[in-house]
């Protein structure tokens, strides 16, 4: 049975994979809304618990819930249907065709990062001859999926690290007696760490130093930078990536544990704080927001949420057009006035399966302790509204005294 130019009638299955974000549920909302409006989709099933749930046939029909419940997806952190890092074997992929047929599932949408896109590609290959269309929806706070300009989830994580850094910066400035080192997530990609630069409103604002995994970390230069700024400011805020590496490519702090692609990083911020204390004799502390940064709805980017909804809608549209083996990508457009504008296009899944996109050299300064203006120009639209302003009477006092002198 054919829909009216909108694809074959049947059911949809949405699977979440890997670490969640503040907007992954917004993409799920987009899928459900598009399905309702299509007129040919009977059920949108959520795989309850990630890829393993497909094999166990743990499916819940999400279209049966009232609109007021579904709208909560837009402001619900993590994933409402659950996720996993379950490693599928070849026999698992081969078994899925029969499961999809049993539940009349014609469209399978996998929402995740580059590891999930690898799974997406393998399910597509295994099921493409069975009349099942498989499409990927990008999702990762790390922003490390290839080809696409950025991924849903990143804008909110970027906003969180920028807002957090700005607040910590005000605290350190008010009591300028120590060095505060904030550790950001992101594995081998420094996109989140770099976004802390958006905390700055004027010269001297935090972060004062930014260290990224794409540039070899030099302990001697780090201590020189911290000492110089401490002598100048009295309080210093450093933002460092969890994936910092030495010149030889080894992590500066050995990982605690590895399991497949999952790496449990050592405490980089604590290590750097100890370096400062032992070598410079300066009070230092470490902060590691971790999951707080990817779960925060309070600091969710409105643009990020809207684009996540769009990604869900576009994925189902593409599946219904028969464009399997693809992922929704965001393409930024050049505009005469430099304003933000983007459009979506479907990217062949083979181009993004397990490819890792890191921060390009043009976004990192020569010494490797900050980002460039090119990065902040690229990143700023993605966090949505402006970072909040604060009042500093100490600064105003100094300005007034300077004028009187």
Q: Active-site residues: which are they?
A: 142
User: Taking the CA atoms of the chain, what radius of gyration do you get in angstroms?
Assistant: 23
Can you tell me the distance from the alpha carbon of 159 to that of 384, in angstroms, rounded to the nearest whole number?
A: 8
Q: Which residues partner with 286 through β-bridges?
A: 181
Q: Are 16 and 108 in contact (CB under 8 A)?
A: no
| The dihedral sign for the CA sequence 226, 228, 234, 236 | negative
Q: Are 51 and 17 in contact (CB under 8 A)?
A: yes
Can you tell me the distance from the alpha carbon of 311 to that of 307, in angstroms, rounded to the nearest whole number?
A: 6
Calculate helix-pair angle for 219-233, 268-280, nearest 10 degrees.
70
Q: Which residues partner with 328 through β-bridges?
A: 346
| CA 98 remoteness from chain centre | 34
Can you tell me the distance from the alpha carbon of 277 to that of 257, in angstroms, rounded to the nearest whole number?
A: 27
Can you tell me the distance from the alpha carbon of 111 to that of 105, in angstroms, rounded to the nearest whole number?
A: 17
């Amino acid at each position: 049975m054919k829909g009216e130019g909108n694809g074959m009638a049947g059911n949809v299955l949405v699977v979440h994979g890997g670490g969640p974000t503040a907007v992954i549920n917004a993409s799920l909302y987009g899928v459900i809304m598009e399905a309702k409006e299509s007129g040919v989709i009977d059920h949108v099933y959520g795989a309850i618990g990630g890829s393993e749930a497909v094999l166990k046939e743990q499916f819940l029909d999400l279209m049966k819930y009232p609109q007021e419940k579904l709208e909560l997806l837009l402001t619900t952190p993590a994933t409402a249907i659950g996720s996993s890092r379950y490693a599928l074997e070849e026999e698992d992929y081969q078994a899925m065709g029969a499961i999809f047929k049993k539940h009349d599932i014609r469209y399978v949408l996998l929402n995740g990062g580059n590891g999930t896109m690898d799974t997406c590609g393998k399910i597509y290959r295994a099921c493409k001859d069975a009349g099942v269309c498989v499409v990927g929806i990008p999702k990762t706070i790390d922003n490390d999926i290839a080809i696409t300009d950025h991924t849903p989830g990143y804008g909110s994580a970027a906003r969180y690290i920028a807002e957090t850094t700005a607040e910590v910066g005000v605290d350190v400035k008010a009591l300028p007696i120590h060095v505060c080192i904030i550790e950001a997530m992101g594995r081998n990609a420094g996109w989140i760490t770099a976004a802390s630069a958006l905390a700055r409103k004027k010269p001297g604002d935090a972060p004062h130093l930014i260290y990224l995994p794409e540039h070899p970390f030099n302990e001697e230069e780090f201590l020189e930078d911290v000492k110089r700024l401490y002598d100048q400011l009295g309080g210093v805020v450093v933002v460092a990536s969890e994936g910092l590496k030495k010149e030889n490519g080894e992590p500066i702090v050995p990982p605690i544990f590895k399991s497949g692609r999952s790496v449990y990083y050592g405490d980089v911020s604590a290590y750097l704080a100890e370096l400062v204390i032992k070598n410079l004799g300066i009070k230092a502390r470490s902060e590691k927001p971790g999951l707080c940064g990817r779960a925060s709805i309070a600091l969710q980017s409105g643009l990020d949420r809207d684009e996540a909804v769009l990604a869900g809608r576009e994925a189902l549209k593409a599946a219904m057009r028969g464009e399997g083996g693809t992922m929704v990508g965001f393409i930024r457009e050049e505009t005469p006035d430099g304003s933000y504008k983007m459009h979506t296009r479907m990217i062949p899944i083979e181009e993004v399966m397990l490819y890792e996109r890191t921060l390009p050299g043009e976004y990192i300064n020569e010494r490797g302790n900050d980002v460039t203006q090119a990065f902040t120009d690229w990143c700023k639209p993605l966090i949505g509204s402006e970072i909040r302003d604060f009042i500093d009477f100490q600064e105003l006092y100094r300005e007034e005294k300077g004028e009187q002198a």
